[in-house]
């Protein structure tokens, strides 16, 4: 009889393994069911062309849309390119966005591992002493138990709850990546706008200093004519007042320049350093056509981020619905237990267990229904947010297009006005010196020229910034060139 013991033990173990295999196969087959709606992009209506879009022949002959160009191709100023490169590498908002990507990636990893069997190992020793009054003479008071066990548990994803959670986590990761691209788009636009504003302030300071020098000479001329009795003291006082007006603009412009440099340093993520710049004849490359509105859905990072938020919200509906149904978990353990350490790895010390748990929510059923309603409401909100983001993007492009066109037209007329006022100023001063013109003609001509030159500088800045805003509205600026280190990417 003793010899037959191993023969009966082997079939029993084989039957247990067979039953486990059948249960796992059935569970995997049932796990093909996934509750909740599969994602489909909402239907959106976009125009065939942007409002205020020029014909292709007028907009520039290029097969690429404006936003398809990298920022190093759009901004030709080498000093600006260095600033943009430094901003991409050092700006804290970009680093924060990168950290959020890592958070989303880690969360996705947690969701994926939840679909796999959870395996744990246990090794332990316990020693206890029983009261002598409760122990018979045949049993020792002191006992030692050694345990070595490997256990596993697996929640069978019958209704797709875990798969939907992984799908939502994947969408969250993509949304975080698009959010970083959106940060880059905004950063490139902010740095370029601040740089062009700084160039305009430099130009206005140069105009003011040049006008101040001219008015100083005119004050000397007026005083000399007053000493000869040619003009009255009123002319001298008026000339001095005009000089003080120009001189008063100098410290104000210097303050604005210093604060503009501080703004750029903040965007660069550095300290209060002087910004190297020089006026470039063509700081922005020729602007190609903006492309089709339908491509905006695939290019703008904020639209793609909003869509991934919708994907995640859609997946969480399935996860919430799956919580309404029973969950099946399989558990198993194999190991050994012995009262002596040297017998822990022997055959008689081996242990084995297998089981399954079916959990049906009863008290939480009503709460889970509210969770489904909450997930459905969040999906509706995500759809509306997605559609709103598209509408806002189309408006941004339209506003940038009309701003670019009209600012450029105004700049042309302003250049013509400045050229005419310069001629008028020269004529008025020559006539004044010859005694054929009134002093107030000179004052008026000089004042009009000064204001017109300042306005021209501001209009040139507005034209450049409008091009920056158009590039930003189309979703350009998140691309990274080869010159940016891999760590920054």
Q: What is the DSSP string of 326-386?
A: -EEEEEEEEEEEESSGGGTTSGGGEEEEEEEEEE--STTHHHHHHHHHHHHHHHHHHHHHH
Q: Is residue 353 part of a domain?
A: yes
Q: How far apart are CA 388 and CA 42, in angstroms?
A: 12
Q: What is the pLDDT of residues 22-45, one digit of tens each?
A: 555 555 555 457 888 899 999 888
Q: Is residue 5 part of a domain?
A: no
Query: Do residues 176 and 97 make contact, with C-beta atoms less than 8 angstroms apart?
Result: yes
pLDDT at 8: 38
DSSP 300: -
Q: Is residue 312 part of a domain?
A: yes
Q: Is residue 70 part of a domain?
A: yes
Burial 14-34 (b: 16+ CB within 10 A, else e): eeeeeeeeeeeeebeeebeeb
Domain tally, the chain: 2
Please tell me whether residue 24 adopts helix, strand or coil conformation. Answer: helix
Q: Is residue 399 part of a domain?
A: yes
Query: Same structural domain for residues 232 and 351?
Result: no
Query: Do residues 268 and 195 make contact, with C-beta atoms less than 8 angstroms apart?
Result: no
Q: What string of DSSP letters covers 89-150? A: HH-HHHHHHHHHHHHHHHHHHHHHHTTSPEEEEEEEEEEEE--TTTS-TTS-SEEEEEEEEE
Q: Per DSSP, which regions of 136-282 are E strands?
A: 142-156
Query: Same structural domain for residues 41 and 106?
Result: yes
Query: Same structural domain for residues 303 and 343?
Result: no
**Cα–Cα nearest to 294, from 42, 110, 48:** 48
DSSP 286: P
pLDDT at 293: 84
Query: Same structural domain for residues 211 and 354?
Result: no
Q: Per DSSP, which regions of 214-349 are E strands?
A: 327-338
Query: Same structural domain for residues 390 and 347?
Result: no
Query: Same structural domain for residues 264 and 336?
Result: no
pLDDT at 407: 94
Q: Considering the entire predicted model, what is its pTM?
A: 0.80
Query: Do residues 284 and 467 make contact, with C-beta atoms less than 8 angstroms apart?
Result: yes
Containing structural domain, residue 424: 35-115+159-325+377-473
Q: Is residue 88 part of a domain?
A: yes
Query: Same structural domain for residues 276 and 404?
Result: yes
Cβ within 8 Å of residue 219, ≥6 positions away: 236, 239, 240, 243
* Partners of residue 351 on adjacent β-strands: 335
- Could you identify the residue written with the tokens 């904020």? 302
Question: 3-class secondary structure for 177-191?
Answer: HHHHHHHHHHHHHHH
Query: Do residues 291 and 408 make contact, with C-beta atoms less than 8 angstroms apart?
Result: no
Query: Same structural domain for residues 188 and 332?
Result: no
Mean pLDDT by 10 residues, the chain (489 residues): 39 48 52 79 85 58 69 90 91 91 91 85 77 63 75 83 90 94 94 94 94 90 85 87 92 94 89 75 77 84 94 93 85 75 68 78 80 93 95 92 93 95 91 80 90 94 94 88 47
Cβ within 8 Å of residue 6, ≥6 positions away: none
CATH code of the domain containing 339: 2.20.200.10
CATH code of the domain containing 230: 1.20.1600.10
pLDDT at 386: 95
**What six digits make up the tokens of 275?**
């910004």
Cβ within 8 Å of residue 304, ≥6 positions away: 174, 178, 181, 297, 298
Query: What percentage of the chain's residues is helix, strand, coil (to nearest 5)?
Result: 65, 10, 25
The 8 Å CB, 24+ separation contacts for 225-232 are 230/435, 231/439
Cα 442-443-446 angle, rounded to 5 deg:
85
Query: Same structural domain for residues 287 and 321?
Result: yes
Query: Same structural domain for residues 90 and 134?
Result: no
HSE-up (13 A, CA, CB side) for residue 225: 20
Q: Is residue 22 part of a domain?
A: no
pLDDT at 205: 95
Q: Is residue 28 part of a domain?
A: no
Rounded to the nearest 10 degrees, how much is the dihedral formed by the CA atoms of 478, 480, 485, 489? 50
Query: Same structural domain for residues 269 and 393?
Result: yes
Query: Same structural domain for residues 188 and 238?
Result: yes
Q: Within 10 Å of residue 210's Cβ, how many Cβ atoms?
A: 13
Q: How far apart are CA 188 and CA 471, in angstroms?
A: 10
**What six digits make up the tokens of 229?**
């009795």
**Cα–Cα nearest to 476, from 153, 192, 265:** 192
């Amino acid at each position: 009889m003793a010899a037959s013991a191993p023969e009966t033990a082997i079939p029993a173990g084989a039957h247990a393994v067979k039953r486990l295999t059948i249960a796992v196969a059935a569970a995997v087959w049932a796990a093909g069911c996934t509750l909740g709606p599969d994602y489909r992009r909402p239907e959106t209506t976009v125009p065939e062309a942007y409002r205020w879009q020029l014909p292709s022949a007028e907009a520039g002959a290029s097969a690429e849309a404006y936003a398809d160009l990298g920022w190093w191709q759009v901004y030709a100023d080498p000093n600006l390119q260095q600033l943009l490169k430094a901003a991409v590498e050092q700006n804290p908002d970009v680093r924060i966005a990168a950290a959020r990507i890592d958070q989303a990636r880690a969360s996705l990893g947690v969701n994926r591992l939840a679909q796999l069997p959870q395996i744990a190992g246990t090794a332990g020793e316990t020693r206890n002493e029983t009261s002598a009054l409760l122990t018979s003479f045949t049993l020792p008071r002191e006992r030692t138990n050694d345990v070595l066990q490997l256990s596993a548990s697996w929640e069978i994803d019958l209704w797709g709850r875990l798969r939907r959670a992984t799908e939502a986590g994947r969408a969250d990761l993509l949304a975080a990546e698009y959010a970083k691209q959106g940060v880059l788009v905004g950063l490139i636009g902010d740095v370029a706008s601040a740089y062009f504003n700084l160039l305009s302030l430099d130009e206005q300071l140069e105009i003011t200093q040049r006008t101040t020098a001219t008015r100083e000479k005119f004050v000397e001329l007026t005083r000399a004519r007053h000493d000869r009795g040619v003009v009255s003291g009123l002319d001298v006082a008026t000339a001095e007042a005009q000089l003080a007006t120009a001189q008063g603009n100098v410290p104000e412009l210097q303050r604005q320049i210093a604060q503009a440099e501080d703004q750029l340093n903040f965007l660069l993520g550095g300290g209060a350093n002087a910004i190297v710049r020089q006026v470039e004849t063509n700081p922005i490359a020729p602007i190609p056509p903006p492309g089709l509105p339908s491509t905006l859905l695939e290019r703008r990072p904020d639209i793609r981020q909003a869509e991934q938020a919708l994907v995640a919200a859609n997946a969480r509906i399935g996860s919430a619905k799956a919580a309404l149904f029973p969950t099946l978990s399989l558990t198993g353990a194999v190991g050994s237990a012995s009262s002596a350490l040297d017998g822990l790895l022997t055959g008689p010390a081996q242990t084995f267990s297998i089981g399954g748990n079916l959990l049906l929510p009863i008290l939480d059923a009503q709460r889970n229904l509210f969770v489904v309603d909450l997930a459905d409401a969040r999906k509706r909100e995500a759809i509306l947010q997605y559609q709103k983001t598209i509408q806002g993007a189309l408006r941004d492009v339209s506003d940038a297009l009309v701003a670019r066109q009209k600012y450029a037209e105004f700049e042309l007329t302003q250049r013509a006005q400045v050229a005419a006022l310069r001629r008028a100023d020269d004529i008025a001063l020559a006539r004044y010196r010859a005694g054929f013109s009134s002093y107030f003609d000179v004052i008026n001509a000089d004042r009009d020229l000064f204001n017109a030159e300042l306005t021209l500088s501001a209009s040139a800045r507005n034209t450049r910034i409008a091009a920056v805003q158009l590039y930003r509205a189309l979703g350009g600026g998140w691309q990274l060139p080869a010159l940016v280190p891999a760590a920054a990417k």
